[in-house]
Amino acid sequence: MIELAFCAVAAALVGWLVRRKRQQRSAGAAAGEAVGLPCMLKWSALGSRWKAGRLLTGGAGPLAWEAAWGKRTTVLPAGLRRTGLRSPSPREAMAFNPLSRVVECESPEGDIVLIAVMPEELELVTKALESA
């Protein structure tokens, strides 16, 4: 019984921390600050796999993506525009959260960039793509 109570308290704490971090990102983006939005990226320049990281938005420069491991930062193509929005395919759902949404983007050079993001962060990502 004590273990169950401990797990419930731990789950509530984790939920509170996740919600608090999401609110901080939303407030920072609304204030025009540089914000890192958690996402998965698939782009031919980085390879054929989905890579975990953060979409860096709100800065003076172009959109950039920072890898979760290695902290390598990659600048996304200039003029990137959203061409579609979809749910992940069953195969993609095994690589990342099946509740997320995939934002399909295309650059003027013809590069296709796929960004998988959770629904709570979707509005911030679309605004960042429009303003870039």
pLDDT in the model for residue 86: 92
Q: Mean pLDDT, to the nearest integer, of 94-112?
A: 89
Report the alpha-carbon distance of residue 33 to residue 55 in Å, rounded.
13
Q: Cα 103 to chain center, whole Å?
A: 10
Burial 107-126 (b: 16+ CB within 10 A, else e): eeeeeebbbbbbeebbebbb
| Structure confidence by residue, pLDDT tens digits, 13-58 | 998 988 888 888 777 777 777 788 899 999 877 778 899 999 888 7
- Distance, CA of 4 to CA of 106 (rounded, Å): 48
Q: How far apart are CA 54 and CA 38, in angstroms?
A: 4
The pLDDT tens digits for 54-94 are 988 876 668 888 888 877 888 888 888 899 999 999 988 88
